[in-house]
Chains A and B, each alone.
Chain A
Amino acid sequence: MPAVVPLSAPPLDPTGDGLRRRITLLCRLLRGAAVLYALWGLIGLLVLWHDPTAVDTAWNHRLGVDVGPVPWQQRLGGLIVCLVTWTFVAGACLNLWWLTTEFLAGRIFTLDAAALLRRTALHGLAAGLSDILFRPVIFVLMTLHMPPGQRQIGVFLMPADLLDVMLLCGFLALAEVFRAAAEIADDHASFV
């Protein structure tokens, strides 16, 4: 079916300029926050894992035991594990940037925007889950140099983790709803 050119009369649907105007400020703030969050996370990781004293202090406090000086190889291992999670975070931020760029260009109820929303949610969910799953790995890494009886492994879960996962699953469901809305808008656009 050939694409129908929008009528010259103002559209009756809410996909026009009104909606774009309402979300412009929010989209710009989100874009800035996405870049800031990704860079902040990366710099924070590099600063923490680069400083032996900071690593020792952080893990003494977190585990409640004196982990002593953590060898550099283990610190490097910890950094790599954290960078895996950060990669998902960066993916979510990048997709959020692309999504808000689409919205700012007025391409709101489109299948591309729906796919970007879904990818943002999936990357966010992957980041949240990898953060939870890699915690025991970092526990082991930070205590690997200690005598076998003093090494620690444990699943460290907080109520906020569940909230994060719930919100991200909700976001994923919203992406599916958004895709259905985009398909309806696509159909609507082929009416003259």
Chain B
Amino acid sequence: MPIVVRLDVVLALRKVRSRDLAQRIGITEQNLSLLKSGKVKGIRFDTLEAICRELDCGPGDLLEYAPAPPAEDP
């Protein structure tokens, strides 16, 4: 998927632990871990809003569009 989740980078910059963020935004640590590793199909706006509020950042800091390079001709 060309959407990369950069939550781990923002967490490191803000020096916030995953466990603390999960508690503050009301989701399980397991779900936050799945989100960090990009293993979810989507993120709800209210979850995104809560993360942005707690980490004082914008959606663009958390999500990045990284298109796959075009396949080379054989």
A residues near B (Cβ < 8 Å) are 1-2, 4-5, 7-9, 187, 190-192
Contact = CB atoms under 8 A, between A and B. Distances in A.
User: What range describes how many residues of B lie at the interface?
Assistant: 10 to 19
B24 to A, nearest CB: 12
Contacts of A5: 28, 30-31
A192 B26 contact: no
A105 B28 CA distance: 23
Nearest to A191: B42
Interface string B9-51: 0000000000000000011101110110001111110110000
Interface of B: 26-28, 30-32, 34-35, 39-44, 46-47
A190 B26 CA distance: 16
A94 to B, nearest CB: 35
A-B CB proximity, top 7 nearest? A191-B42, A190-B41, A192-B31, A5-B28, A192-B35, A192-B40, A5-B30
A7 B48 CA distance: 13
B34 A7 contact: no
A29 B26 CA distance: 38
Contacts of B28: 5, 7-8
Nearest to B33: A2
Give the interface centre of B28, B31, B40, B46 by most chain A CB atoms within 10 Å: B31
A153 B45 CA distance: 68
Most buried by A among B28, B32, B46: B28
Given A7-B26, A8-B26, A9-B26, A190 B42 contact: yes
A7 B27 CA distance: 5
B30 A1 contact: no
Nearest to A9: B26
Given A7-B27, A7-B28, A8-B26, A191 B41 contact: yes
Contacts of B32: 192
